[in-house]
Copies of this chain bind each other. A is one copy, B any other.
């Protein structure tokens, strides 16, 4: 064990294990998680060469192998609870993705929820036994977030009782679905349904892609890998061009909408039913943002405690780089953010399960709010976490660029969450739509409930006034007061966005153009709303914590999180008169004090995330802090070191020397 990191642990002022239990949701959950993790860690089948040393084809191969092994082992161990499966996967995936990911997250769930009884009996056993390996093919080369724009057609032919599927244009080629390129033999294809000469919009069809015996693509199916990407090297994201592919009528998923034998179209009873999965996945991503950032902070903070560099005082030994105020200022607010997002993730999970219960009882009342919240928070947290991962990486100096730090992998495999499951700016505007609607309802005298209830007060309290005439309300040392300030900022920015739309309308532009011409303000309002929600939930979490030591350090983190947000957005708080200039100086001063206060607990706070070395897969983030000897060992395994002299010397350099 590196003596620096040992000393850090000795200096901690709280019980790390207790904080781990809080993060897991209880001592029993921590225990079970560790049991499951140790199944993977001790399993020789999951020991493999660093994926970064392999070619893409080898990486894909290794990922398929791991997925196949996992399926057998989960059965062997009898692990079937989704949370436990997730935990098992988290270890063997490390910082990478699963080759069969979409079979589990999209293909199976869609079958479960959209098959009618006969379809369920046929397809679910095939999918659960992996005879049918599936994916979900929605996005097209020319069409992403805007689903109505999709061009793939499924035209019903009553003569043969078949649908004929086609990709009528280049832009209609299905593009991006994970596992589509090489792995899947089936896809659920989203296509425009045409029957009896009419288009009825998007519906889902089960399309066989490859022979279930030979895996060779079926006639009319042009399928393949879309090529290398930024991250997701292990996954065969694919393309699919359909050329007059005929499937039987019962391959349309018919739990809700139907096409009868003669071609008569029967409408689904409600459109809201498809909301659920989207909301669930976006809520999950919020938790992922917390995890990705927590891993990155673990690596950067542990490394900062063993790395010595430069000097603060002349003549003294080089200090740990964590002693530099600038390093603390980079890392500790991100550490606070990681905690905040982990708690928000827990909250979203709880709300989702509560509301799902309501929905199954036919109560949809909370769904719009959750939909809006999950969209905005997904964007808010993934943007911040992505930037934060890069800050952590660069805080490790040169070595953060080495693949052995794991930070490049964490970044490239996390950052796509900013785009998939709804592009972030579009997500922010969806939340804004809900906020503006709520604001207008409140203005019209309706009493709002739920998270937007603060908009009830806006008309009354937030009259435009100048900075100097407005009494300030904030106590910069009191978290409750800061939550209030975030709330008022959100209210004010929602109001500003609504007024911008109003002003545009007065210029006689259409509603739609007024919306677009106010989009910058709308995104800003959503951002402020999400920021308020996060600060509020972090503060609320503190109320649940009994242990004094843990409560104290988490309170410091929460205060740091809130004050740093104010400093970053100081313009907003000054502009809306919520802070005065002298208070802003207090905020800066207090931030510096909090950094110094957190310094002795930094390593313990990342230890509490409890990511084992096998999950981090980072030489810089090793628990024992013995970084350098392991970097050297790792480097020696680099494929370029397999020969002393690379063949390019004989091919190009030697001849060059001869010619000159």
Contacts and interface: CB of A to CB of B under 8 A. Distances in A.
A382 to B, nearest CB: 10
B61 A229 contact: no
B215 A649 contact: yes
Interface stretch (A157-165, A243-251, A265-273, A566-574): A566-574
A466 to B, nearest CB: 7
A112 interface: no
Interface in A390-431: 390, 393-394, 397-398, 400-404, 407-408, 411-412, 415-416, 418-420, 423-426, 429
Interface in A371-393: 387, 390, 393
Interface stretch (A13-21, A282-290, A311-319): A311-319
A510 interface: yes
A61, A229, A307 — which one has the most chain B CB atoms within 10 A of its CB? Answer: A229
Given A326-B429, A653-B183, A61 B227 contact: no
Contact of A170 (B390, B419, B628): B628
Nearest to A654: B215
A36 interface: no
A517 B456 CA distance: 44
B635 A404 contact: no
Contact of A313 (B139, B173, B512): B512
Interface in A50-64: 52-53, 55-57, 60-61, 64
A586 interface: no
A71 B652 CA distance: 11
How many copies altogether?
2
A146 B226 contact: no
A310 B146 contact: yes
A65 B651 contact: yes
Interface stretch (A1-9, A126-134, A191-199, A471-479): A126-134
A56 B640 contact: yes
B570 A516 contact: no
Contact of A57 (B327, B574, B631, B640): B640
Contacts of A173: 632
Given A55-B55, A640-B181, A144 B398 contact: yes
A324 interface: yes
A575 interface: yes
Given A130-B653, A144-B398, A635 B520 contact: no
A200 interface: no
B644 A225 contact: no
B401 A313 contact: no
A463 interface: no
Contacts of A149: 308-310, 318
A22 B163 CA distance: 59
A380 to B, nearest CB: 15
B639 A56 contact: yes
Contacts of A467: 467-468, 574, 581
A641 interface: yes
A647 to B, nearest CB: 7
A379 to B, nearest CB: 11
Contacts of A521: 588
Contact of A644 (B176, B217, B646, B649): B217
B648 A142 contact: no
Contacts of A72: 656, 659
A519 interface: yes
A513 interface: yes
Contacts of A202: none
A510 B314 CA distance: 11
A570 B524 CA distance: 14
Contacts of A215: 645, 649, 653-654
B423 A397 contact: yes
A481 interface: no
A390 to B, nearest CB: 8
B649 A520 contact: no
A228 to B, nearest CB: 4
8 contacts: A65-B652, A130-B656, A141-B628, A142-B307, A226-B402, A313-B512, A394-B415, A394-B424
Interface of A: 52-53, 55-57, 60-61, 64-65, 67-68, 71-72, 129-131, 133, 139, 141-146, 149, 170-171, 173, 175-176, 181-183, 210, 214-217, 224-232, 236, 239, 307-314, 318, 323-327, 329-330, 387, 390, 393-394, 397-398, 400-404, 407-408, 411-412, 415-416, 418-420, 423-426, 429, 466-468, 510, 512-513, 515-521, 523, 567, 569-575, 577, 581, 584, 588, 591-592, 628-629, 631-632, 634-641, 644-649, 651-657, 659-660
Closest 3 CB pairs of A and B: A570-B571, A225-B640, A227-B638
